[in-house]
Amino acid sequence: MEASNLALQQLKISGVHQQRIRKYSLLPGKRDASFGNMTPTLFYPDKKSRRVNKSSDIASLSCHASTNKENAVKLNNNLSIMKRKCTENTYGSTEVCSFSESIQNISSNTVHEKVGVLLLNLGGPETLDDVQPFLFNLFADPDIIRLPRLFRFLQKPLAKLISTFRAPKSKEAYASIGGGSPLRKITDEQAQALKNALEDKGLHANVFVAMRYWHPFTEEAIHQIKRDDITKLVILPLYPQFSISTSGSSIRVLNSIFREDGYFTRVAISVIESWYQREGYIRSMADLIEKELSKFSKPEEVMIFFSAHGVPLSYVEDAGDPYRDQMEDCISLIMDELKSRRVMNNHTLAYQSRVGPVQWLKPYTDEVIVELGQKGVQSLLTVPISFVSEHIETLEEIDMEYKHLALESGIKNWGRVPALGCTSSFISDLADAVIEAIPSATAISAERSHINLAEKDPLNYILSLFLGSFLAFFLLLSPRAFSLFKNNLL
């Protein structure tokens, strides 16, 4: 994956900042606009303006043509006009967007509402036999391996190849944590806890789980939502910070289902895109950190080491993924909260779990651990920060690999903050986020506009097929290309 050249969705700054009102734009990515896959592209304001606008309450998103006229025409052909109404209330609230194509406000008193909450998560293999097909689903996601347009149809053969070669290593990791991912079980528990918390706050809601790469898949959740006759739906990714590769990917899949399925023209929908800035979440994280610090003999000397899941650098630098900015904001909010409790420890942030030969967000967790050891840091408290459940990368990568590396590098005292899981203050805050999102739920219209590449541009289509087949042939049959691929990409 030549990540620096593969920017698909271009997330660019288009914020018009006014007092308490922000305007975002949904523009096509430079390349993606011509795809016809109708992926909406969110444009985020830069970090500085987001910080300045902490008190912003409302962000409205409107759709307009890109700078490129051709793209604008394609956009009109392929994308129905999308509008968003967003409510952002930093630190204390959530980035909430109701979407999608044309907005019809549904007044809550006209129909008998049945509220649903859809939790989005990554999913994980439940048995060792699931590992390869799970990896296939992950690498087949165009938001995970971002191929240029011409090579898009190679996505699945490439996913098959990478998943087959990666599976033995991944299986070993899953075997070491009991033979499968705990993600489904934990997410189901979180769903039940959220349902109970909502009930306690006076809202009866059905809570569904949609995993991106393993069961229960998005389609299974959609089936249940329809079976239960849900009329208002709040979409809540279980990732505190937004990334194109996580929440973005799940929302893209949902968006295409909603556009195709007439049922959803009758459903008012609200999407909570990120919620790392919520007071309840920040406080819950600070509580966990304080508790773990107190287990060290000299808590004040402990380095608090935030380890976030990485993304390729090109996501942030070329495609405008807000993930790094949100991560940094999140950590400064947690540290501010700790300081307000007189916890004045040093802290640092690094990124873990990189895959493949491209550059990922730096600094890398393993390199920082070695450096900290060399600098004489004696005590380290690792805080997994991009995810709210235990999973392979906390249980295996952090608890086994990084712990071993830290002790080898001279760090004497090691600790790790557990994931939030079903911590009651956290679940209660998620319930508040859901309740706050309901008023901004809006319905989507029934416009559909799938035009596939072959219908739209037959010459281009034939050319891509030809070049793609050539590349696949070369990669699969040339022993040298094959071993280069195996050594570098896996």
Ligand X SMILES: C=CC1=C(C)c2cc3[nH]c(cc4nc(cc5[nH]c(cc1n2)c(C)c5CCC(=O)O)C(CCC(=O)O)=C4C)c(C)c3C=C
Q: Which residues are near ligand X by CB under 6 A?
A: 122, 124, 135, 138, 144, 166, 170, 181, 183, 239, 243, 245-246, 309, 311-312, 355, 386-387, 391-393
Shortest distance, CB of residue 44 to ligand X, whole angstroms? 16
Is the CB of 101 or the CB of 393 nearer to ligand X? 393
Is the CB of 178 or the CB of 479 nearer to ligand X? 178
Q: Is 318 exposed, middle or buried (0-12, 13-18, 19+ CB in 10 A)?
A: buried
Shortest distance, CB of residue 243 to ligand X, whole angstroms? 4
DSSP 350: E
Half-sphere exposure of residue 355: CA atoms within 13 angstroms, side-chain side: 17
Number of H helices, E strands in the chain: 17, 14
In one letter, which amino acid is 346? N
Sign of CA dihedral 55, 15, 47, 361: positive
In one letter, which amino acid is 373? G
Shortest distance, CB of residue 82 to ligand X, whole angstroms? 24
Q: Is 203 exposed, middle or buried (0-12, 13-18, 19+ CB in 10 A)?
A: middle
Is the CB of 245 or the CB of 379 nearer to ligand X? 245
Is the CB of 66 or the CB of 170 nearer to ligand X? 170
Is the CB of 172 or the CB of 228 nearer to ligand X? 172
Shortest distance, CB of residue 349 to ligand X, whole angstroms? 14
Q: What strands, in cross-sheet order, belong to the sheet with 303-309?
A: 347-352, 303-309, 379-384, 413-416
Cα separations in angstroms, 263 against 157, 391, 408, 421: 34, 34, 57, 33
3-state secondary structure 375-436: CCCCEEEEEECCCCCCCHHHHHHHHHHHHHHHHHCCCCEEEECCCCCCCHHHHHHHHHHHHH
Shortest distance, CB of residue 356 to ligand X, whole angstroms? 7
Is the CB of 98 or the CB of 243 nearer to ligand X? 243
Shortest distance, CB of residue 1 to ligand X, whole angstroms? 8
Is the CB of 313 or the CB of 431 nearer to ligand X? 313
Shortest distance, CB of residue 53 to ligand X, whole angstroms? 24
Shortest distance, CB of residue 241 to ligand X, whole angstroms? 7
Is the CB of 138 or the CB of 209 nearer to ligand X? 138
Q: Which residue is nearest to ligand X (CB)?
A: 124
212 neighbors 218 (Cβ within 8 angstroms): yes
